[in-house]
A = this chain, B = another copy of it.
Amino acid sequence: MKKLINNTDNIVSEMLDGMTAAYPQYVKRLEGLEVLVRSSGPSPKVALVSGGGSGHEPSHGGFVGKGMLDGAVAGAVFTSPTPDQVFEAVRAVNGGKGVLLVIKNYTGDVMNFEMAADMARDEGIDVEQVIVADDVAVENSTWTTGRRGIAGTVFVHKIAGAAAEAGESLADVKRIAEKVIANVRSMGMAVNACTVPAVGKPSFELAEDEIEIGIGIHGEPGTHREHISPVDNISDTLLGKILAEGIYDSGDEVAVLINGMGGTPLMELFVANKHINAVLDGQGLKVARTIVGNYMTSLDMEGFSVTLLKLDDELKKYLNAPAETPAFVQA
């Protein structure tokens, strides 16, 4: 294993310090905790807290800032943060209008975020939660009951974050987040697996001509392996499963996220997008917005995921609202 790290024990802590050192205009770290919050402090609006295991950078700390998250809790690599860390994040960002937890659907995350919510409610903080489960690849998995939460989560951060920034109530921010979740679907694939630093070898091995379809973001196995083919074919497979959900109809406006898994060159993501854009156009879908890049990664995994979000006027307004965070800025 060759990684640009110092040691596996404090990789998350060093990463968080490196992030605050790079972007002090947006984020600061809660002392002694693996939590990033806005450096501007809490404000009188609904606050959003997300997080999960580390290794998905820039998720989630990279999305803390105006118009997106108020706090992000970083667990160990691919490991849920503990309830006390989530609780401290909630306390720190609470501005008196309530806090919404954005949880990716993994058993550990759901359990620990819910415990933190209970702890916060005991202190009189109004806490609600939404659970993102956008991955159409599998119905249940190693670490989930139900579908996994993957790159679609970034649209929840963006849109619910903008709604909170605009002064919507906790009930409305939650309603809007749930509308995103109801209308967002994703699916991914890998050319090569990731290597968890503390493990030191790839999560799975693929042959020189083999790819894995339907992978998760923690090195979980996908639905099947197949011989590598042109990326247009691979995109058809991913998109086909997403479109088969039956929630995207001709004439709908959609937003697209072509998400790199961490080790895939941007060049290849753009090549993929040419065909994906054409397929969506051929389906009569109007692509109102596309984002291409590394947003919900899996360490050094090579591969990508496609995310489709059906828009209405409300979602579109908040998708296009300003944001200022380390990893996503919009004027």
Q: Which residues of A contact B (CB under 8 A)?
A: 2-7, 11, 14-19, 21-23, 54-55, 57-58, 62, 191-192, 206, 208-209, 211, 228, 230-232, 234, 256, 258, 262-275, 277-278, 287, 290-294, 297, 299-300, 302-304, 322, 324, 326-327, 329-331
Nearest-CB residue, chain B, relative to A16: B270
Q: In the complex, A264 Cα to B297 Cα: how many Å?
A: 11
Residues of chain B within 8 A (CB-CB) of A272 are 4, 18
The answer to whether A271 and B2 touch across the interface, beta carbons within 8 angstroms, is: no
Q: In the complex, A313 Cα to B231 Cα: how many Å?
A: 47
Nearest-CB residue, chain B, relative to A298: B265
- With A230-B6, A329-B329 as known contacts, state yes or no: A266 contacts B277, CB within 8 Å: no
Contact of A264 among B4, B270, B274, B277 (CB under 8 A): B4
Nearest-CB residue, chain B, relative to A299: B265
Nearest-CB residue, chain B, relative to A330: B329
Q: Is the interface of A mostly helix, strand, loop or mixed?
A: mixed
The answer to whether A270 and B234 touch across the interface, beta carbons within 8 angstroms, is: no
Contact of A300 among B211, B270, B302 (CB under 8 A): B302
The answer to whether B4 and A57 touch across the interface, beta carbons within 8 angstroms, is: no
Nearest-CB residue, chain B, relative to A294: B266
13 residue pairs A–B, Cβ–Cβ below 8 Å: A2-B208, A3-B191, A4-B268, A6-B231, A18-B269, A22-B256, A22-B290, A22-B292, A55-B265, A262-B266, A263-B264, A263-B265, A265-B297
The answer to whether B57 and A266 touch across the interface, beta carbons within 8 angstroms, is: yes
- With A234-B4, A302-B300 as known contacts, state yes or no: A267 contacts B55, CB within 8 Å: yes
Residues of chain B within 8 A (CB-CB) of A266 are 57-58, 62, 262, 294, 297
The answer to whether B271 and A211 touch across the interface, beta carbons within 8 angstroms, is: no
Residues of chain B within 8 A (CB-CB) of A6 are 230-232, 271, 275
Best-buried of A231, A267, A277 by chain B (most CB within 10 Å):
A267
Q: How many Å from the CB of A283 to the closest CB on chain B?
A: 15
Q: In the complex, A211 Cα to B3 Cα: how many Å?
A: 10
The answer to whether B331 and A271 touch across the interface, beta carbons within 8 angstroms, is: no
Best-buried of A4, A17, A266, A331 by chain B (most CB within 10 Å):
A4
Q: How many Å from the CB of A131 to the closest CB on chain B?
A: 25
Contact of A273 among B18, B256, B271, B327 (CB under 8 A): B18
Ranked nearest first, the 7 interchain pairs of A and B with the lowest CB-CB distance are A18-B270, A18-B274, A21-B277, A18-B273, A4-B268, A57-B266, A22-B290
Nearest-CB residue, chain B, relative to A190: B2
Nearest-CB residue, chain B, relative to A11: B271
- With A2-B208, A21-B277, A271-B6 as known contacts, state yes or no: A265 contacts B57, CB within 8 Å: yes
Q: How many Å from the CB of A58 to the closest CB on chain B?
A: 6
Residues of chain B within 8 A (CB-CB) of A273 are 18-19, 21-22
